[in-house]
Amino acid sequence: MGAESSKKSSPKASAPTKVHIADQEITWTNWYQHVNWLNITLIVAIPIIGLYYSMYTPLYRKTAIWAVLYYFATGFGITAGYHRCWAHCSYTATLPLKIFLAAVGGGAVEGSIRWWSRDHRAHHRYTDTDKDPYSVRKGLLYSHLGWMVMKQNPKRIGRTDISDLNEDSVVVWQHKNYLTVVIFMGLIFPALVAGLGWGDYLGGFVYAGILRIFFVQQATFCVNSLAHWLGEQPFDDRNSPRDHIITALVTLGEGYHNFHHEFPSDYRNAIEWFQYDPTKWFIWTMKQLGLAYDLKQFRTNEIEKGRLQQQQKKLDRIRARLDWGIQLENLPVMEFEEFQEQARNGRALITVAGVVHDMTSFIKDHPGGKAMINSGIGKDATAMFNGGVYNHSNAAHNLLSNFRVAVIRGGCEVEIWKQAQRENKDVEAITD
């Protein structure tokens, strides 16, 4: 089978098939072919034009408020609609809500639901790999804009299952009529509202239309860039997603992105009440209004397990870096007599829990004083050390491991055993 397929592909490999432009090097002669001119127009050129016109267009208070409101509406179209409803099915929207989200989401000018969700599922499934359409490993700017502004080989992007979207009539309709939706919801509708409402067609077009598009785009693009670059990783640090309040503020609550990549089908991004996640509040409100149902949520138990394991990972890393003394199995074995002998001859040896410690360098530093520690020399000080005289702190226990020099044959009960033997009691002699 393997041989067969390689035979089949070999003529293909040798034939000079057309290499996709994205896989060719950028040169002085082909650079313009690398650029996605449509996207450059939508993302860069139009905002510049809008900025130019805004200098000649007075901004009325009503139009300003409308622009901000429409900014939030179209933002929710992306976050609550495109992202949490369609890409992740984290809740179910009723038809009226779907139509609303598909409309205002279209007004954000970020592609159709179908196209956006396909790419986004690939982003989750292949995060940080070459199959991730906006992998941050290719640079922050690439993940923010570059992937749209430069042409991409569509074959590179990981495949995902979007059969559910193909069965969703709202998604299919929006995809088919995408150009109409974009022009109407992106530009005409905001102009109409301002025009029919208070006669400011031009202001509505420039501020609630063009410039608002720019802000919504840049804000939501941050989910692909900033959210993979800035902040903490409380649930998993193997990949790039991160949690940060700044990202959340910019992206209507999509800033708890480490959580989100771990629990993508949770309708929440922020799990604490004090974190900023207006998209979650929006979805919750829709539920109260009967417009959304089946809000999915991972159990707190599962979330806490994830957090715990990540913290454990961090601790284990620290633990591995620290010095825990010579391993017991690498220490020489010493007879209790020899230990006593050496201690009598002036070596400051103390046995604790079957391990011989040379305390010479520590005696003068002992926080409990010289007399105390000296009283343990040549003895099995296990009981003294563990509360008999003083119940030493954790720090003291740790410190001990620095001074290990040997282990006692027979372990820490050796003294009791010797004692019993001397008294001719019935003790089995342990020899090995």
The closest of 50, 67, 64, 60 to 189, measured between CA atoms, is: 67
Site for a copy of itself in 23-62 (CB under 8 A): none
Q: Is 334 left (phi over 0), alpha (psi -120 to 50) or beta?
A: beta
- CB-based contact 78:108 (threshold 8 Å): yes
Pick out residues in 264-283 that bind a copy of itself (CB under 8 A).
264-265
Buried b / exposed e over 65-96, threshold 16 CB at 10 Å, is: ebbeebbebbbbbbbbbbbbbbbbbbbebeee
138 interacts with ligand HEM by CB under 6 A: no
Please report the DSSP string for 179-228 in residue order.
HHHHHIIIIIHHHHHHHHHHS-HHHIIIIIIIIHHHHHHHHHHTTTTGGG
Is residue 356 involved in binding ligand HEM (CB under 6 A)?
A: no
Nearer to ligand HEM by Cβ, of 155 and 159: the residue is: 159
Residue whose CB is less far from ligand HEM, 63 or 382: 382
First to last CA, the chain: 61
The CB-of-377 to a copy of itself minimum distance in angstroms stands at 16
**Under rule CB under 8 A, residue 130 binds a copy of itself:** no
DSSP conformation class of 236? -
Please, which of residues 369-388 interact with ligand HEM by CB under 6 A?
A: 372-373, 375-376, 381, 384-385
Strands 404-408 and 333-334: parallel
Which range binds ligand HEM by CB under 6 A, 90-98, 118-126, 243-251, 283-291? 118-126
85 or 373, CB closer to ligand HEM?
373
Three-state DSSP at 150 gives strand
- Contact status, residue 145 vs residue 249, Cβ threshold 8 Å: no
Site for ligand HEM in 202-241 (CB under 6 A): none
Choose the one of a copy of itself, ligand HEM, none that binds residue 361, judging by a C-beta under 5 to 8 angstroms depending on kind: none
Residue 236 touches which member of ligand HEM, a copy of itself, none, C-beta under 5-8 Å by kind: a copy of itself
- Minimum distance from residue 198 beta carbon to ligand HEM (Å): 44
The alpha helices in 55-112, defined as continuous H runs, are: 61-76, 95-106
- 390 to 419, contacts with a copy of itself by CB under 8 A? 390, 393-395, 398-399, 402
Stretch that binds ligand HEM, among 58-66, 196-204, 234-242, 350-358 (CB under 6 A): 350-358
Query: Are the C-beta atoms of 291 and 301 separated by less than 8 Å?
Result: no
Q: Which partner in a copy of itself, ligand HEM, none is near 408 (CB below 5 to 8 A by kind)?
A: none
C-beta pairs of 295-301 under 8 Å, 24+ apart in sequence: 295/90, 295/91, 295/267, 296/89, 296/90, 296/91, 296/265, 296/266, 296/267, 297/266, 297/267, 297/268, 298/263, 298/265, 298/266
Q: Report in angstroms how near the CB of residue 205 gets to ligand HEM at its nearest.
A: 38
Phi-psi region of 277 (alpha: psi -120 to 50; beta: other; left: phi over 0): beta
Instruction: Please report, as residue ranges, which positions from 361 to 390 form the binding site for a copy of itself (by CB under 8 A).
Output: 365-369, 371-372, 390
Residue from 96, 305, 383, 419 touching a copy of itself (CB under 8 A): that is: 305
Residue 22, interface with ligand HEM (CB under 6 A)?
no
**Among a copy of itself, ligand HEM, none, partner that 302 touches (CB below 5 to 8 angstroms by kind):** a copy of itself
CA dist 194 and 121 (Å) reads 37
Work out whether 155 is an interface residue with a copy of itself (CB under 8 A): no
The smaller minimum CB distance to ligand HEM, of residues 164 and 337, is found at: 164
3-state secondary structure of 265: coil
Distance CA 99, CA 12 (A): 46
**Which residues of this protein are in contact with a copy of itself, per CB under 8 A?**
88, 124-125, 161, 163-164, 235-236, 261-265, 296, 298, 301-306, 308-312, 315, 318-319, 322-324, 365-369, 371-372, 390, 393-395, 398-399, 402
**Which residues of this protein are in contact with ligand HEM, per CB under 6 A?**
121, 124-125, 264, 350, 352, 357, 359, 362, 366-368, 372-373, 375-376, 381, 384-385, 389-390, 392-393, 395-396, 399-400
